[in-house]
Amino acid sequence: MNEALELMHAVARKLTGQAVTIRFKEPQTSRPANAATCKGLDGAAVIDIDPYWNRPDDELFRLFTHELAHVVLHLGIMTPVNVTIASAVYHAPSKSTDAVTRSREAEAEALADKWRKFAMYGWENHYRVHRSRFISMLKALLYDYNK
Ligand SMILES: [Zn+2]
């Protein structure tokens, strides 16, 4: 998993333009979630992914790109939290309504979908070397994707 986690950090930096910390740690969310994005007191993004969540790589890739899209689109409106004590808190501010939450989720999905489509076309070139679809999709985004 170390190579994957290193690549995830590199992809996060490329797609969001900033350093993002990715942790395999249970997200603290108001509703059950497999992953969550929060903003630390220093303003930097932290993504927590449930370490007990055992799903195929494609679903991890889907989840990861979705959270990265939240960093790009919504980090600015998140309330900073102490990420060394708390795990990530749910990315929607508590005041927001369900409608606002839904529209943010849709925005994140639209951006993540663009990245995923690119990775789906480009991963096979990397697969010849890496033999892992997940690693290959990350490499496609890291080396071939132009924003
Ligand atoms: Zn979301």
Q: Which fold has domain 2-144?
A: Arc Repressor Mutant, subunit A (1.10.10)
Please tell me the distance between residue 40's alpha carbon and the centre of ligand 1 in angstroms.
17
Q: Does the structure show a pLDDT above 80 at 88?
A: no
Q: Average pLDDT, whole number, for the chain? A: 87
Q: What is the pLDDT of residue 96?
A: 61
Q: Does the structure show a pLDDT above 60 at 91?
A: no
Q: To the nearest whole percent, how much of the chain has pLDDT over 70?
A: 91
Please tell me the distance between residue 129's alpha carbon and the centre of ligand 1 in angstroms.
32
Please tell me the distance between residue 65's alpha carbon and the centre of ligand 1 in angstroms.
10
Please tell me the distance between residue 71's alpha carbon and the centre of ligand 1 in angstroms.
10
CB-CB contact of 37 with 46 (8 Å): yes
Q: Does the structure show a pLDDT above 80 at 90?
A: no
Q: Which residues surround ligand 1, an ion (CB under 5 A)?
A: 105
In sequence order, the 6+-apart residues with CB closer than 8 A to the CB of 122 are: 137, 140, 141, 144, 145
Q: What is the pLDDT of residue 86?
A: 56
Q: What is the mean pLDDT of the segment spanning 45-74?
A: 92
Q: What dihedral angle (degrees, nearest 10) is formed by the CA atoms of 38, 5, 63, 21?
A: 10
pTM: 0.89
Q: In what order do the strands lie in the sheet with 20-24?
A: 20-24, 45-49, 35-40, 80-81
Q: What is the pLDDT of residue 95?
A: 55
Task: Extract the tokens encoding 105.
Answer: 């989720």
